[in-house]
Amino acid sequence: MKDKLNELAAQSAAAIEAADSLEALEELRVRFLGKKGELTAILKMMGKLSAEERPVMGQLANSVRAKLESELETRKKELGEKALEARMKAEALDVTLPGKHVELGHKHPMYIALDELKDIFIGMGFTVLDGPEVELAEYNFDKLNAEEGHPSRDWSDTFYFDNDSRVMLRSQTSPMQVRAMETMPLPIRIVAPGRVYRKDEVDATHSPMFHQVEGMVIDRHVTMADLKGTLNAMVRRLYGENTKTRFRPHHFPFTEPSCEMDVQCHKCGGVGCPTCKGEGWIELLGAGMIHPHVLEMSGIDPEVYSGWAFGIGLERTAMRRFKIADLRLIFENDLRFLTQF
């Protein structure tokens, strides 16, 4: 038994030293010290020894076990350090290498123009509102004085959800006028940006889906002069102090009197080109004094209060702001175009 223990000690020392991984070392531990290992098998021979030999062999066996455990622990530590060193080399970061360029996004030109508009009107004391894109005809037409039979209510102009023509994709942000008049205390100063939908043919200045910014003021003694002054201040803040505008008489069912405001074409400077369709001017917005009947339908006394409203096309605002010749570029998401801004 003594020879077997000494042989086991010699074999195990050589095998442990030769182990090249933690997995191989664990296999050796089970082989030599496990419940069915070689040391256990040798210890089963203790029953055949005499009473005098047992203590001596027991002491030797314990010494061999202790030596094995020490060698295993030492080798385990060595292999662990080697594995850590190899991992650190494999995962090392060379700080002298050039970094990867990170592409940062930026705002879409249309939303740059929208933020500028918001800043202008917030600075004038306006509140920014948001409203539903799926709208009731009651708010989109009825309460804005556009009764049944008005051309804008035709199926060829408006996207309806039902056969009764009562639920629709809003064709303007003007319904927010009514919602504000019904819920907000007087005086009212609001702007309401958002998407709108009309059955327009796509061309350089039209799209079936576009964006509007609705503006409205209701107070005592509000006049058309206030409207023109506010709109001129807005375009000069957006486009520069030398921006030329013109107001033309027009008709809208919810304003009286009504007008349209044009800005001189940024592409040709008023000479005439495809962008302005040869006119030298681009229509920017429609506006006017709120019709007394519209005020009455929302519970506001037109004998005491007056107001004005406008609706501006956000895409056309961005086109003039950034000298974009074709509205379709705004929606095509071509990076060659967008990265200019």
Confidence of residue 87 (pLDDT cuts 50, 70, 90): confident
- Whole-angstrom Cα distance, residue 39 to residue 59? 13
Are residue 240 and residue 169 in the same domain, yes or no? yes
* 227 and 120 inside one domain: yes
Q: How far apart are CA 296 and CA 302, in angstroms?
A: 7
What's the mean pLDDT in 237-260?
A: 91
For the ranges 3-7, 26-30, 128-132, the lowest mean pLDDT is seen at: 3-7
- The closest of 176, 192, 189 to 144, measured between CA atoms, is 176
**Residues 115 and 215 placed together within one structural domain of the fold:** yes
Structural domain contains residue 168: yes
pLDDT (0 to 100) of residue 85: 84
Assess whether 48 and 126 both reside in one domain. Answer: no
Structure tokens at 94: 């060379």
Q: Which residue, of 31, 57, 90, is where some domain finishes?
A: 90
Do 84 and 137 lie in a common domain? no
Q: Are residues 141 and 278 in the same domain?
A: yes
Q: Report yes or no on 282 lying in a domain.
A: yes
Residue 299 located in a structural domain: yes
> Residue 234 has what pLDDT?
93
Shared domain check, 176 and 124: yes
In a domain, 142, yes or no: yes
Judge if 303 and 334 occupy the same domain: yes
- Regarding whether 119 and 76 lie in a shared domain, the answer is no
Cα gap 269→214, rounded to integer Å: 27
pLDDT at 1: 64
Residue 124 lies in a domain: yes
- Over range 251-269, report the average pLDDT: 89
Q: Classify residue 200: in a domain, yes or no.
A: yes
**Poorest-pLDDT segment among 54-63, 98-107, 139-148:** 54-63
Asked if residue 264 is part of any domain, the answer here is yes
User: Is residue 257 within 8 Å of residue 278, measured between CB atoms?
Assistant: no
Please identify, among 90, 125, 149, the residue that sits at the C-terminal boundary of a domain.
Answer: 90
CA distance 131 to 134: 9
| Residue 57 belongs to domain spanning | 2-90
| 166-221 pLDDT, tens digit each | 899 999 999 999 999 999 999 999 999 999 999 888 877 678 888 999 999 999 99
Query: Residue 47 pLDDT more than 70?
Result: no
Do the domain assignments include residue 95?
A: no
Q: Which residue among 61, 90, 119 closes a domain?
A: 90
Number of domain units in the chain:
2
pLDDT tens for residues 143-152? Answer: 998 888 888 8
Do 81 and 172 lie in one domain? The reply is: no
Radius of gyration of the chain (CA): 42
Three-class DSSP labels, the chain: CHHHHHHHHHHHHHHHHHCCCHHHHHHHHHHHHCCCCHHHHHHHHHHHCCCCHHHHHHHHHHHHHHHHHHHHHHHHHHHHHHHHHHHHHHCCCCCCCCCCCCCCCCCCHHHHHHHHHHHHHHHCCCEECCCCCEEEHHHHCHHHCCCCCCHHHCCCCCCECCCCCCEEECCCCCHHHHHHHHHCCCCEEEEEEEEEECCCCCECCECCEEEEEEEEEEECCCCHHHHHHHHHHHHHHHHCCCCCEEEEEEEECCEEEEEEEEEECCCCCCCCCCCCCCCCEEEEEEEEEECHHHHHHCCCCCCCCEEEEEEEEHHHHHHHHHCCCCCHHHHHCCHHHHCCC
Question: 115 with 23, same domain?
Answer: no
62-66, 76-80, 106-110, 132-136: range with highest mean pLDDT? 132-136
